[in-house]
């Protein structure tokens, strides 16, 4: 299967700090990939580079046919093909749930009022929040707000979804409701890249796990690498080091 995301030897520096030191990986259509590693290992930076929120210093990234870094890149189309959900929900507090979802549909996709409403209803049902369409973000729990953020991305019908530690600000109960939504998306064949600290979830849902350490892809493989790590660093990270 041809790769829908291809990251080749990317380097990224912030001033004198080299965060990515030659990162490479490929992701096929329909694959669920979990990126794990300690804070500061470069996980979130790599994810943000895939959506062109950060520009790379060298290397190449191809996403859904877009060559990132080329002068001709259509960022508007890239943003439609690649959805990203962050740890902070980034919802507009003065808009209802439904308005938050339909905003980009109306202004970016130029859909009719009815088409926007229909799509909002559809994605809210998918994340289990149909009854919250007319609520405002402050009336929702953190888990519900995160599910609205996921619904907003899904409404754009992206080819790839990126999740950047979306449960790290949530308590265990709210975490489980958000992970259930992501699990359902995986079962539906959505291509996803998750930066996560939820090891049991990664083991259960991911087709491929990428362990990053000190700005490099240190170890990669199926979920079994969490049970049988090949490097001392991953052993220590998953808590099996002696």
The pLDDT, as a whole number, for residue 169 is 81
Contacts of 150 (CB under 8 A, 6+ apart): 85, 127, 166, 178, 181, 182
- What would the DSSP string read from start to end of 96-147? -HHHHHHHHHHHTS---HHHHHHHHHHHHHHTT-GGGTT--GGGS-HHHHHH
Q: What is the DSSP string of 164-220?
A: ESTTTTS-HHHHHHHHHHHHHHHHTT-EEEEE-S-HHHHHHH-SEEEEEETTEEEEE
pLDDT at 214 over 90: yes
The pLDDT, as a whole number, for residue 17 is 94
pLDDT tens for each residue of 94-132: 999 999 999 989 988 888 999 999 999 999 999 999 999
The answer to whether 20 and 194 have CB atoms below 8 angstroms apart is no
3-87+159-238: CATH superfamily: P-loop containing nucleotide triphosphate hydrolases (3.40.50.300)
pLDDT at position 89 is 83
Residues 42-94 have pLDDT tens digits of 999 999 999 999 999 999 999 999 998 777 788 888 988 999 998 888 899 99
CA atoms within a 13 Å half-sphere pointing along the CA-CB vector of 9: 2
pLDDT of 228 higher than 50: yes
- Structural contact between residues 191 and 27, judged by C-beta atoms closer than 8 angstroms: yes
241 has a pLDDT exceeding 60? no
Query: What are the boundaries of each domain within the chain?
Result: 3-87+159-238
Q: To the nearest 5 percent, what fractions of the chain are helix, strand and coil? A: 40, 25, 35
Q: How far apart are the first and last CA of the chain?
A: 39
The tens digit of pLDDT for each residue in 144-189 reads 999 999 999 999 999 999 999 988 888 888 889 899 999 999 999 9
Q: Please state, in angstroms and rounded to a whole number, the distance separating the CA atoms of residues 6 and 171.
A: 34
Could you tell me if 61 and 4 are in contact, meaning their C-beta atoms sit under 8 angstroms apart?
no
Give every CB contact of residue 1 below 8 A, 6+ residues apart in sequence: 28, 29
- Predicted local confidence at residue 95, as pLDDT: 96
pLDDT of residue 240: 54
Which has the closest alpha carbon to 87: 145, 150, 167, 199?
A: 167
pLDDT at 170: 86
User: Residue 242: pLDDT above 80?
Assistant: no
User: Residue 1 pLDDT > 70, yes or no?
Assistant: no
Please determine, for residue 215, whether its predicted confidence score (pLDDT) is greater than 80: yes
State pTM to two decimals. 0.92
Q: Look at phi and psi of residue 214 and say left if phi exceeds 0, alpha if psi is from -120 to 50, else beta.
A: left
With contact defined as beta carbons under 8 Å apart, do 137 and 89 qualify?
Answer: yes
pLDDT mean across residues, the chain: 92
Q: What is the pLDDT at residue 96?
A: 96
């Amino acid at each position: 299967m041809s790769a829908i995301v291809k990251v080749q030897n990317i380097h990224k520096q912030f001033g004198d700090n080299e965060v990515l030191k030659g990162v490479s990986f490929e992701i096929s259509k329909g694959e669920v990939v979990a990126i794990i590693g300690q804070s500061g290992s470069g996980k979130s930076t790599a994810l943000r580079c895939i959506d062109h929120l950060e520009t790379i210093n060298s290397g190449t990234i191809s996403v859904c046919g877009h060559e990132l870094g080329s002068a001709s890149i259509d960022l508007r189309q890239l943003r439609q093909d690649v959805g990203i959900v962050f740890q902070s929900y980034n919802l507009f507090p003065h808009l209802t749930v439904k308005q938050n979802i339909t905003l980009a549909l109306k202004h970016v996709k130029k859909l009719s009022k009815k088409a926007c409403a229909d799509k909002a209803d559809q994605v809210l049902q998918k994340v289990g929040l149909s009854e919250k369409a007319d609520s405002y973000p402050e009336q929702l729990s953190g888990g519900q707000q995160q599910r609205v953020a996921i619904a907003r991305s899904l409404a754009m019908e992206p080819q790839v979804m990126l999740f950047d530690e979306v449960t790290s600000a949530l308590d265990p109960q709210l975490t489980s409701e958000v992970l259930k939504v992501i699990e359902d998306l995986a079962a539906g064949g959505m291509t996803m890249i998750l930066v996560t600290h939820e090891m049991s979830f990664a083991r259960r849902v991911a087709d491929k796990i990428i362990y990053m350490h000190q700005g490099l892809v240190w170890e990669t493989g199926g979920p079994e690498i969490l049970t049988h790590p090949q490097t001392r660093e991953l052993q220590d990270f998953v808590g099996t080091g002696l």
